[in-house]
Amino acid sequence: MNMVSHWSANVAALAVYAVAAAAHLLGMRGEATGSGAPRQPHRLARAAAYQAGLLLALLAVVSPMGYWSYRFIWARNLQDVILAIVAPALIVLGAPWRPLSRGLRLDGRLHRWDQRTAAGEADDDDAARRNRAAGWRPWPVAVAVAFCAIWWAWHLPALFDAALHSSVVYALEVASYVVVGTLLWLQLVDSPPLRPQLSPLRRVGLLLGVAASGTVLGLIRVYSSGLAYPAYLSFRHDVLSVISDQQVGGGVLWVIPLVPFSIVAVALAVGWLSEDESEATAADFDRLLRRKSAWPSRPGLR
C-alpha cells in the first residue's frame, strides 16, 4: 500500500490558501517598505508561523492525508486535529491581522481598531490587572463551549459519515474546524493587536476544560467495541479492522491534542507565576521604601 501516491487538486482549498498567503505576503512587503519601523520585533518569525499554519491546513486537505482520510478513521481523526488545533495555533501565533489588512486593503478599519485599543495596549500591567479583577468573561467561555460542541458534533456517527459522502458537508466541516480553532486560540495566546480577555491562570483553566472534553471523546472511541462509523466498511482494511481503526483514531483524538495544549498550559502557568512573583517583589520594595527607619537619626540629619 503506497501511502504517499495520492494528491488531490481541491480547487476551493487551493484558492483560499492562495488568497490568504498572497495577501499576507503583500502586507508584509508593504510593512517592510513603509516609512515607519515595524512595531513587532519578531515579525519574521510570526510570519513564518502563519504561513506554516496555512500550509499545514492546506496539506491536510490536498496531500495523501486527505485521500486516506476517506479510507481510514485514524487518518481522518489526525486530519481533524491538524485542522482544528495545530494549524489554527500556528495561524494565531503568526499574528497575521495587520499584514492581512494591508494586503486586503483594509488598513482604514485596522487603524480605527488601533485607535480604540491604543490606551489598553500602552499599559500591559493595567490591562492584566483589569483582566484579573474582571474574573471570567462570557466571550472566551462561549468560544470554548462552541469549540467543544463542534468537535463533538463532527465526530458523531451521522455527521462523520455524512462528510465522507458529501463534498459540501466536508467543506463545511473543514471550514468550521479552522474558524472555531482560530477563535479558541485567540482566547489563549497573544496575537497582536488582539489580546486574550482572561488572565493567564483562567486561560489555563479554559484550556484544561477543552482538553478534558476532547480526552473524554477519545477515550470513548478507544474503549468502544461497537462500530461507530459504518461508512468506512466500504473500504477494505488490509491491516486494521474497522473497529481497530476506530480505536486507533480514538487514541489520536486523545493523545495528540494534549501535546500543544500542555505546552501552552505550562507556558501560561510559568508566565502567571513570574508575573505574580514580580508583583509581590515590587510590593515588598514599595513597603520597604515607605517604612520609616528604625535607626535613631543623628542630630542635624533628616
Per-residue model confidence (pLDDT) at position 107: 62
Candidate from 37-46, 123-132, 157-166 with smallest mean pLDDT = 123-132
Lowest mean pLDDT: which of 48-57, 106-115, 153-162? 106-115
Q: How far, in whole angstroms, is CA 284 from its chain's centroid?
A: 37
**Cα distance from N-terminal residue to C-terminal residue, the chain:** 89
Length of the chain: 302
pLDDT at residue 118, rounded to an integer:
46
Q: Is the dihedral of CA 73, 245, 260, 189 positive or negative?
A: positive
Q: 108: burial class by Cβ within 10 Å (0-12, 13-18, 19+)?
A: exposed
The CA R_g of the chain, rounded to the nearest whole Å, is: 24
Instruction: Give 290's pLDDT tier (boundaries 50, 70, 90).
Output: low
pLDDT band at 284 (very low <50, low <70, confident <90, very high): very low
CA 212 to chain centre: 16
Q: What is the mean pLDDT of residues 56-79?
A: 93
The pLDDT tens digits for 203-217 are 999 999 999 999 999
Average pLDDT over residues 275-286: 51
pLDDT the model gives residue 212: 97
Q: What are the cell numbers at 242? A: 474497522
Torsion angle (degrees, nearest 10) of CA 283, 286, 291, 294: 90
Per-residue pLDDT, 141: 95
- Is 101:27 a contact under the CB 8 Å cutoff? yes
pLDDT at 159 over 90: yes
- Higher per-residue pLDDT: 36 or 254: 254
Task: Copy the grid coordinates of residue 225.
Answer: 467495541
CA distances from residue 123 to 27, 98, 128, 258 in whole angstroms, order as listed? 27, 20, 9, 33
The set of cell numbers assigned to 89 is 495555533
C-alpha cell at 173: 466541516
What is the H or E stretch that residue 111 is in? helix 107-122
Question: Would you say 83 and 177 are in contact if contact means Cβ atoms under 8 Å apart?
Answer: yes
Residue type, 112: R
242-255 and 73-81 are packed helices; what angle lies between their axes, rounded to 10 degrees?
A: 20
In 3D, which of 43, 44, 67, 55 has the Cα closest to residue 16?
Answer: 55
C-alpha cell at 103: 494586503
Asked whether the predicted pLDDT for residue 272 surpasses 50, the reply is yes
Return the pLDDT at 110: 55
CA distance 112 to 114: 5
* Residues 3-37 pLDDT 10s: 556 788 789 999 999 999 999 999 988 766 554 44
Q: How confident is the model over 270-274, as a mean pLDDT?
A: 81
Q: pLDDT: is 33 or 256 the higher one? A: 256
Tell me the whole-structure pTM to 2 decimals: 0.81
